[in-house]
Amino acid sequence: MSRPRPALTLVPALGVLLLTAACGSSSSGGGTASSPSTSGGLSGTVTVFAAASLKESFTAIGTAFEAAHPGVKVVFNFGPSSGLATSITSGNPADVFASASPTTMDTVLKAGDVASPVTFAKNRMEIAVPASNPARVKGVADLARSGVKVTLCQAAVPCGKVAAQVFAKAGLTVTPISEETDVKAVLTKVSLGEVDAGVVYVTDVLAAAAGGKVTGIEIPAAVNASTSYPIASLTKAPNPAGAAAFTAYVLSDQGRSALTTAGFAAP
């Protein structure tokens, strides 16, 4: 059933990140290694290729990482994981790859472009509808109803593959009127009222709900599906030290805090 969505607020997590960045190296011995070091030695730009669904959380993490390492600049390339993987295997330079699918990461791993990926988060699917919900969508079954205009991610994109798993579990055939390159494109069509519903990640609905144009409708656990997010430094990273440090930051308690605030589940 439809339920109100709280506005996404990354500020608290970002505040924690920035505060920790300012004093993370002041702890004495005996503590855990969960807080990334703010010691010097890093410089230049860290280029991160990341799934579109990571935009809000990684933007916050990137800001905090820069605060922890003055002089370092994090540059993001957000997009569909499959497209980013193709870009990497084609030789486009990057330091870090964060994918919304282990399968997509495996493609880059088999090409020898990354080593030792680590899963850092999980995400599940949710239905996004315009705030007014003109088609009166109440659940997954309504997406197969005649006259309901649905948009999905392309079949090759992780969010498209996971949505297909949902329909298979529910025993439904859903014919979208369009297939988009990533979850953000799906949400744009929903928020503009061009479609009656889209199936994206719960984190993307949470982020879009902040603008008041999108409402989330939960998918029952029995038919829902999820995906895992691996991250890895590239073997030919132009800034290997920066790549390793950023990856460690994502895996730290501070990084996980930002991810949790954005709606991601622990791996």
Domains present along the chain, CATH in parentheses? 2-20+40-122+229-261 (3.40.190.10), 123-226 (3.40.190.10)
What confidence score (pLDDT) does residue 40 get?
56
Contact indicator for 173, 166 with CB cutoff of 8 Å: no
Q: The whole model's pTM is what? A: 0.83
What confidence score (pLDDT) does residue 84 get?
97
Distance CA 238, CA 235 (A): 9
Residue 222, H or E segment: none
Distance CA 98, CA 114 (A): 11
- Non-local (6+) Cβ contacts of 240 within 8 A are 95, 233
**pLDDT, tens only, 115-124:** 999 999 999 9
- State the Rg of the chain over Cα: 19
Does residue 70 register a pLDDT over 80?
yes
Distance CA 243, CA 235 (A): 10
Q: Return the residue matching tokens 């010097």.
A: 40
96 closest CA partner among 253, 260, 201, 242: 242
Does residue 13 register a pLDDT over 50?
no
Distance CA 139, CA 223 (A): 11
Contact indicator for 47, 93 with CB cutoff of 8 Å: yes
Give Cα separations from 52 to 76, 83, 212, 222, 267 (angstroms).
10, 11, 20, 26, 18
103-111: long-range contacts at Cβ-Cβ below 8 A with a sequence spacing of 24 or more? 103/158, 103/161, 104/158, 105/230, 105/232, 108/232, 109/232
**pLDDT, tens only, 228-256:** 999 999 999 999 999 999 999 999 999 99
Helix (H, G, I), strand (E, B) or coil at 169: helix
- Non-local (6+) Cβ contacts of 266 within 8 A are 121, 122, 256, 260
In the chain, alpha helices (H) = 11-23, 55-68, 81-89, 102-110, 158-170, 183-191, 202-209, 240-251, 253-261
Distance CA 220, CA 1 (A): 9
pLDDT band per the 50, 70, 90 thresholds, residue 16: very low
